[in-house]
Chains A and B, each alone.
Chain A
Amino acid sequence: MGAVTLTAVLAQAAATVMAVLVAPLLLGWVNQCRAWLQNRSGPGILRPYRQIRKLFHKDAVIASNASPLFRLVPYVEFASMALAAAIIPTLWTGLPFAIAADTIALVGLFAMARLFLALAAMDIGTAFGSIGARREMLIGFLAEPALLMVFFTTSLIARSTSLPTIADGFAHQPFALFPSLAFASVAFVMVLLAENTRIPVDNPATHLELTMIHEATVLEYSARHLALIDWSAALKLFNYVCIGLALFLPWGLAESPANPAGLLLAAPALVLKLAVAGAGLALIETLNAKMRLFRAPEFLATAFLLAMLGLLVRLLLGS
């Protein structure tokens, strides 16, 4: 755990800003990989940035019956995702902000963002918005316990609920086989797919309103509001991938920014891990077909089951 010094705080603030800026790149990479796997040339990695820039230059159109909440939500979304990025170790584990929130608070933060998005979707009163909000809450309500169980398993092994401490513990312990961690990692990938509107649960590229989950909640947004929401969705994906990397592949993480040699190792390691994770995500999305909505509870029940099995195996066998 890093000491709260001015340099540490500044370094982490810089890292958080970097995370916010880099997040669309990961989304672009996933989309590009997906295009390649589908034999398309693809829109290029920088496509999400161009999209965001284009949206920021447009004039916002807001429904006449929108409440102030509707205008507020994009900023809440973006702020909560940026806040989450501040407590997830990406390059080093000595995060001074991390004392503010542990993994359980992180789950709460994601839940709050989802709640506000659902409220905004229902605010205008269109049918698609309400359907999207309901579906989003359904997925969230099923994914959240699974995510919590994953965190409980890792916390039991590392004896701490603070994400940097867990990552630090895993990165520096001697090699050991942990079947419980294997279960937890599979469960985490399933939650990641569901929470980030990826293919087996939701199709991020769909234009068919009836099958939308996340897209239906943001149908009414335009211009800068939509840009912020898209950006925070990209940031959410980045956050989830970084949580996964910190929990299950923490090797290469530096201990503090004061050590340049550690950072020199951590930065390429992070880029490599993100590239592999993004390609893997694209592969999963290409190999799977989108499920019917009513199969989603089964998918997430399986995720919960795996995470719970991990926890139980950890408690019984201590491994």
Chain B
Amino acid sequence: MASLPLELINTCAALLLLLSFAMLSQRRVLTQVDLYAAQGLVLSVSIFITAWSTHQLHLYFSCGLTLLLKVLVLPLILRRLIHRLDANWETETLLNMPSVLLIGLLLVMFAFVLAQPISELATTLTHGTLGIALAVVMLAFLMMITRRKAVSQVVGFLAMENGLLFAAASTTYGMPMAVELGVGLDVLVGMIILGIFLFHIREQFESLDLSHLESLKED
């Protein structure tokens, strides 16, 4: 029978997957940002449990960094960005919602099958959750593909990073400190640059609909 920390981490992993689907099916951008913050919180809780049960000191830092960056700073920046862009309308998807969810399910199955042989190589306590981490990454990809509006795509990009961090934490007990700091700063800087991009896109096309970018010339 599984131990309690493992059960808690499995529950966190299941919650992460659920939150990914919630983001995928959410129409409002601001709620998407809230869900992203919730995902960050669950992620940091799961990292904390891993750190506590395996006595890995650097995972506590990783947990703190996740909490600071993904639950507080990035959602704050995103919310301000959305208010300044006045972009909190319902975003339409390319496909209707049930089909997006069903494609998501197929992706989850694909990710689980793909992760099965890899996770058997890992020696950590939590190697089973690699499949879920991979599924979170793929669902974030799907979210970026099926949304027209730029802000949702940015949220999808950030959610993808959540999945990568979870994969690292579950297979190797986290990346080295320097790498993790680097990735965290990368995401922060990327976020700021994307914010500037969004303003430029809106100035140029008077809309955040990325399908405008497909035409090369104005006519």
Contacts and interface: CB of A to CB of B under 8 A. Distances in A.
A177 B128 contact: no
A180 B128 contact: no
Interface string A140-171: 00000000000000000000000000000000
B112 A312 contact: yes
B94 interface: no
A298 B108 contact: no
Given A312-B109, A315-B112, A301 B17 contact: no
A84 B102 CA distance: 31
A305 B25 CA distance: 11
What is the size category of the interface that chain A forms with chain B?
A: 20 to 34
A187 to B, nearest CB: 11
Nearest to B12: A179
Contacts of B109: 312
Contacts, number: 66
A319 B7 contact: yes
A298 B98 contact: yes
A318 interface: yes
Contacts of A243: none
A152 to B, nearest CB: 14
Contact of A179 (B11, B21, B112): B11
B7 A313 contact: no
Contacts of B101: 301-302, 305
Nearest to A174: B1
Given A308-B105, A312-B108, A312-B112, A317 B97 contact: no
A179 B14 CA distance: 6
Contacts of A306: 18
Interface of B is mostly: helix
A305 B109 CA distance: 12
A183 to B, nearest CB: 7
Interface residues of B, number: 26
Interface in A279-319: 297-298, 301-302, 305-306, 308-309, 312-313, 315-319
Contacts of A318: 2, 128
A210 interface: no
B18 to A, nearest CB: 7
B8 interface: yes
A318 B14 CA distance: 12
Given A177-B10, A302-B101, A316-B132, A309 B108 contact: yes
Contacts of B11: 177, 179, 182, 319
Interface of A is mostly: helix
Q: Which of B2, B14, B102, B132 has the most CB of A within 10 A?
A: B14
A306 B101 CA distance: 10
A182 B128 CA distance: 19
A302 B25 contact: yes
Nearest to A297: B98
Interface string B83-118: 000000000000001100110110011001000000
B67 interface: no
B7 A176 contact: yes
A186 to B, nearest CB: 9
A317 B14 CA distance: 9
Contacts of B132: 313, 316-317
Contacts of A308: 105
Contact of A316 (B7, B104, B112): B112
B38 interface: no
A80 B199 CA distance: 62
B13 interface: yes
A308 to B, nearest CB: 6
A313 B21 contact: no
B13 A317 contact: yes
B102 A301 contact: yes
A179 B15 contact: yes
A297 B8 CA distance: 33
B128 A316 contact: yes
B18 A317 contact: no
Interface string A177-208: 10110110000000000000000000000000
A305 B105 contact: yes
Interface string B196-208: 0000000000000
Given A176-B1, A177-B8, A183 B14 contact: yes
Interface string B135-179: 000000000000000000000000000000000000000000000
Given A309-B105, A313-B132, 7 more contacts: A177-B8, A297-B98, A298-B97, A301-B102, A308-B105, A317-B13, A317-B132
23 contacts: A176-B1, A176-B7, A177-B7, A177-B8, A177-B10, A179-B10, A182-B11, A183-B18, A297-B98, A298-B97, A305-B102, A305-B105, A306-B18, A308-B105, A312-B108, A313-B17, A315-B112, A316-B131, A316-B132, A317-B14, A318-B128, A319-B2, A319-B11
Interface of B: 1-2, 7-8, 10-11, 13-15, 17-18, 21, 25, 97-98, 101-102, 104-105, 108-109, 112, 128-129, 131-132
